[in-house]
Structure 1
Amino acid sequence: DPSAENRAALREFLKLESVKWQYTEGVPNQSVIAPETYTLDAALMARPGNADIQLDLFLDYASNVKRYPEFQAYFRKWHPPLLAVWGKNDPFFLPPGAEAFKRDIPDAEIHFYDTGHFALESNGAEIGAQIHAFLDRTIGK
């Protein structure tokens, strides 16, 4: 609902404390999250006009969900190699979302890490190694 009330409520989500929460929520050792990550994101979101762009993106998310059947049909038809690396504590994209890929691509590789939404910030080395191994197995060197 793009009402003024909802936009005002979502606007709070763009402030530094909320952006920091997005980076740190679900991360067992929050000290591994570099403060410049969320500080820079919050500063960039605070640029003139950017808040409205971000709010438009939030409110447009439903159009993505409406297209899920198209994505799923593509997956069922073509069975592309798929690697999903996921923060098991992500407050936005829950583990069942990753597990759902296996319904359409039974060979999909799903890996959960004990972290939150921005998994690369806390588990970059492990995830990078996982990506390299996946690419070596699926497309070769």
Structure 2
Amino acid sequence: MASFALLSLLSFVAFMSAVQASILAGGWLVYCGGQAGDIPPGYIYACFESKVGPVTRTLDHDGTSIIFTDSHDPNKFAVALNDVGSTASFEVSGWRVEVESDQFRSRDGCVNLIFFSSKGPEHISNLIKTCPVAGPITITKDLFQS
């Protein structure tokens, strides 16, 4: 009986992962893979390419964002925010990254980023403003050593 419950739970998790990706029109490929015409209207997003490893966990989600990884390369991922004021936080290689919509440039899909130390609440970068037309944000060790 316990193995049936575990199998049912695993099937449900796999199903929800597939549904989640289809709700946002295919996930990473749509946002960062050159299919920009398929992006849902009003969405604000940022594409990332990490040189320090994949997203290890998501933090403090307010329910208005989702993170999609590339199915072939987990070091490439997109953060999609569905409205002005939406935020997402995630960890990469032990460092926390906060993404929020830019209230003044949200129509252009722009976001603000802050990188935080793994040692405490102090931020280790100034506010970084970026827009999708700038291309993916590359996360390197240099960002964490400033």
TM-score, normalized by length of structure 2? 0.24
**TM-score, normalised by the number of residues in structure 1:** 0.25
Between Structure 1 and Structure 2, the one with more helix by share is 1
**Larger Rg, first or second structure (1 or 2):** 1
Query: More strand by proportion, 1 or 2?
Result: 2
